[in-house]
């Protein structure tokens, strides 16, 4: 995860073409895969695009970052230059409702291998991740923070807190869980209660807008505790930073892969989805990134030590973010979210 994501109307800032050596001759027309950039897209290129090119002869061009406004403009104009796009779960639901994306051909993509939480008529999971409580062990003597309530307890666990600036999905749920709302009573979100809880630590919040920044805040001790993408904590731990992770009430969500309505290479795009969601490709991507595979057969193909670090090993305390709720309420909540941040 590597970008500012809540409204996601960011301008297109980069275009890079990746040409891969392939066994068969390359087809005349490449397909374009658009994602969020950074290490996530680098792994998608290596673990999904390269094998697809090698098996199909179809070259894959990399574009990014994902821009929802641009995707809609392409579809509305009938001039669609993207073939496969990595999007957030709530946008996938909204795009399906708005008729912006193509139905998935499940005669090509093997739906029975996919986690049913992350497959719809018009989208398939890219990978899934958890927001978890992370902390720098060296910052706390004795008791270590373990719950979302601990994140709001500045007396017992002093220091700055860090939250994802652009993502109200997750932050508001954390505030409500910390205030005692049972997981099965989260939705519809009690916004007044969530913001009131956040008010109690607002002066102690340091916002992060990208995964690398979240890692730096934790490693430096500037914000020794907060909410993080699980994969970023796993990567930081590998560098020797004394990272603590609590999976208690970890909040899960998935990125989704979609094909824009009117994509010029729909047949090839479907075949790309079949490769990207295959057990082998998902296992390689999960091993590289620390994010969980959406193919249920992938875990058996991964090193056991790696598999144990993934969100799918912590389902007993896992809470699925309701992306259908967010798809319906994103704009209204966004207005309040950014107004609250600016006060």
- Is 328 a domain residue? no
Q: Are residues 137 and 248 in the same domain?
A: yes
Read off the tokens for 124: 């398939």
- Is 26 a domain residue? yes
Q: Distance between CA 316 and CA 329 in Å, rounded?
A: 28
- Is 85 a domain residue? yes
With b for 16 or more beta-carbon neighbours within 10 A and e for fewer, the 83-119 pattern comes to bbbbbbbbbbbbbbeeebbbebeeeebeeebbbeebb
Mean pLDDT of the region 130-146: 96
Each residue of 318-341: pLDDT tens digit? 999 999 999 999 889 999 999 999
- Which of 201, 236, 253 is where one domain is finished? 253
193 pLDDT higher than 90: yes
- Domains in the chain: how many in total? 2
- Which of 212, 232, 253 is where one domain is finished? 253
In this structure, how many other beta carbons lie within 10 angstroms of the beta carbon of residue 43? 19
pTM of the model: 0.83
pLDDT at residue 26, rounded to an integer: 53
18 pLDDT higher than 70: no
Q: Are residues 117 and 259 in the same domain?
A: yes
Q: Are residues 37 and 50 in the same domain?
A: yes
pLDDT at residue 8, rounded to an integer: 40
23 pLDDT higher than 60: no
pLDDT at residue 232, rounded to an integer: 86
Range of the domain at 113: 14-128+254-320
Q: Distance between CA 15 and CA 132 in Å, rounded?
A: 32
218 pLDDT higher than 50: yes
Q: Are residues 166 and 88 in the same domain?
A: no
Share of the chain above pLDDT 70, in %: 92
Higher local confidence (pLDDT), 27 or 29: 29
pLDDT at residue 275, rounded to an integer: 98
Each residue of 270-288: pLDDT tens digit? 999 999 999 999 999 999 9
Q: Are residues 58 and 147 in the same domain?
A: no
Q: What is the DSSP letter of 292?
A: B
Q: Distance between CA 253 and CA 291 in Å, rounded?
A: 11
Mean pLDDT of the region 250-256: 96
Q: Are residues 247 and 201 in the same domain?
A: yes
Each residue of 64-107: pLDDT tens digit? 999 999 999 999 999 999 999 999 999 999 999 999 999 999 99
pLDDT, averaged across the chain = 91
Q: Cis bond leading into 188, ω under 30°?
A: yes
263 pLDDT higher than 50: yes
Mean pLDDT of the region 244-251: 96
Q: Are residues 162 and 232 in the same domain?
A: yes
- Which of 253, 270, 304 is where one domain is finished? 253
State whether residue 204 is helix, strand or coil: helix
Q: Are residues 56 and 145 in the same domain?
A: no
Q: Are residues 285 and 248 in the same domain?
A: no
Q: Are residues 97 and 213 in the same domain?
A: no
Supply the DSSP string of 154-205, one letter for each residue.
TTTS-S-EEEETT-HHHHHHHHHHHTT--GGG-SS--HHHHHHHHHTTGGGE
- Is 9 a domain residue? no
CA neighbor of 311 nearest in space, from 243, 244, 230: 230
State whether residue 154 is helix, strand or coil: coil
Q: Which of 106-110, 176-180, 191-195, 209-213 has the lowest mean pLDDT?
A: 209-213
What stretches of the chain adopt beta strand conformation (E)?
Answer: 14-17, 31-34, 60-64, 84-88, 124-136, 161-164, 205-208, 225-229, 243-258, 319-320
269 pLDDT higher than 50: yes
pLDDT at residue 166, rounded to an integer: 83
| Whether 268 contacts 79, CB under 8 Å | no
- Is 39 a domain residue? yes
149 pLDDT higher than 60: yes
- Is 326 a domain residue? no
pLDDT band at 14 (very low <50, low <70, confident <90, very high): very low
pLDDT at residue 101, rounded to an integer: 98
pLDDT at residue 28, rounded to an integer: 60
- Is 267 a domain residue? yes
Q: Are residues 147 and 243 in the same domain?
A: yes
State whether residue 312 is helix, strand or coil: helix
Mean pLDDT of the region 250-275: 97
Kindly report the backbone phi and psi dihedral angles of residue 246, in degrees, each rounded to the nearest multiple of 5, phi listed first.
-110, 125
- Is 238 a domain residue? yes
264 pLDDT higher than 60: yes
Residue with tokens 């409702």, as numbered in its chain: 97
Q: Are strands 161-164 and 225-229 parallel, antiparallel or unpaired?
A: parallel
Instruction: Please report, for the domain that includes residue 279, its CATH number.
Output: 3.40.190.10
Share of the chain above pLDDT 90, in %: 79
Q: Are residues 270 and 121 in the same domain?
A: yes
Q: Distance between CA 219 and CA 234 in Å, rounded?
A: 13
pLDDT at residue 157, rounded to an integer: 97
């Amino acid at each position: 995860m590597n970008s500012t994501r809540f409204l996601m109307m960011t301008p297109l800032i980069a275009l890079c073409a990746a040409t891969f050596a392939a066994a068969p001759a390359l087809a005349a027309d490449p397909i374009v895969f658009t994602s969020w950039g950074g290490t996530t897209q680098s792994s998608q290129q290596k673990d999904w695009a390269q094998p697809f090119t090698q098996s199909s002869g179809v070259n894959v061009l990399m574009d990014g970052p994902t821009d929802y406004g641009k995707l809609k403009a392409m579809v509305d104009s009938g001039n669609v230059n993207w073939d496969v796009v990595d999007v957030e779960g709530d946008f996938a639901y909204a795009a399906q409702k708005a008729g912006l994306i193509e139905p998935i051909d499940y005669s090509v993509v093997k739906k029975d291998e996919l986690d049913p939480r992350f497959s719809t008529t018009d989208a398939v999971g890219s990978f899934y991740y958890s927001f978890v409580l992370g902390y720098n062990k060296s910052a706390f003597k004795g008791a270590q923070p373990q719950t979302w309530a601990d994140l709001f307890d500045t007396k017992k666990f002093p220091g700055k807190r860090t939250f994802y600036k652009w993502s109200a999905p997750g932050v508001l749920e954390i505030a409500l869980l910390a205030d005692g709302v049972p997981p099965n009573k989260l939705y519809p979100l009690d916004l007044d209660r969530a913001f009131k809880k956040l008010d109690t630590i607002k002066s102690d919040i340091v916002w992060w807008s990208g995964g690398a920044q979240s890692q730096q805040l934790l490693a430096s001790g500037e914000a020794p505790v907060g909410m993080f993408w699980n994969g970023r904590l796993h990567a930081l731990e590998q560098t020797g930073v004394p990272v603590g992770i609590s999976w208690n009430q970890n909040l899960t969500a998935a990125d989704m892969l979609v094909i824009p309505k009117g994509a010029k290479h729909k047949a090839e795009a479907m075949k790309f989805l079949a490769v990207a969601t295959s057990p082998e490709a998902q296992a390689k991507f999960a091993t590289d990134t620390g994010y969980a595979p959406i193919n249920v057969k992938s875990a058996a193909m991964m090193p056991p030590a790696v598999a144990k670090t993934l969100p799918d090993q912590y389902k007993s305390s896992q809470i699925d973010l309701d992306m259908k709720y967010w798809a319906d309420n994103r704009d209204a909540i966004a207005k309040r979210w950014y107004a609250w941040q600016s006060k």
